[in-house]
Amino acid sequence: MMLATPYADLVTCMSEALIFSDRQGIIQAWNPGAQSLFGFDAAETIGQNLDLIIPESLRKAHWDGYHQAISRGATLHCGRSRITRALHKSGNPLYVDMSFAVVKNQAGETTGAMAVARDATQRYQEEKQLRKQLAALTEKQPLEK
């Protein structure tokens, strides 16, 4: 979806995935960064539910939080990103570093939510490996008191 704003080039040129969904969680905007990260092009996602990229095991928690944020008109994590699991078009799981914001119109009414995401799969896997190595080391060498 092409955004008709002075910021359209900014959204299109960003390497991060930008996804705008309406109050019901239907995708309304999907930039090239989202295509690169998730594997779906905009034509495949516009008008589709966000479940397209949410693992089934996380959907209930996602929708509970999504609807609460829409009702409140704000997220609990404003200004902070978090690593979560997502799905690639191939069906392969991803780890993404994602931030959310509720979007309001000029009248202050909530119109949906914007997500910004970047791939964190490699970082997550490296950190997981480091945690395993640390656990193995501390198992072999108990900490002195």
**Tens-place pLDDT, residues 30-67:** 999 999 999 999 999 999 999 999 999 999 999 999 99
Domains (ranges, CATH) in the chain? 8-140 (3.30.450.20)
Q: Which long-range contacts (CB under 8 A, 24 or more apart) does 50-59 make?
A: 50/19, 50/21, 50/25, 50/26, 51/25, 52/27, 52/87, 53/86, 53/87, 54/86, 54/87, 55/85, 55/86, 55/87, 55/93, 58/84, 58/85
pLDDT at residue 89 greater than cutoff 90: yes
SS3 28: strand
pTM: 0.81
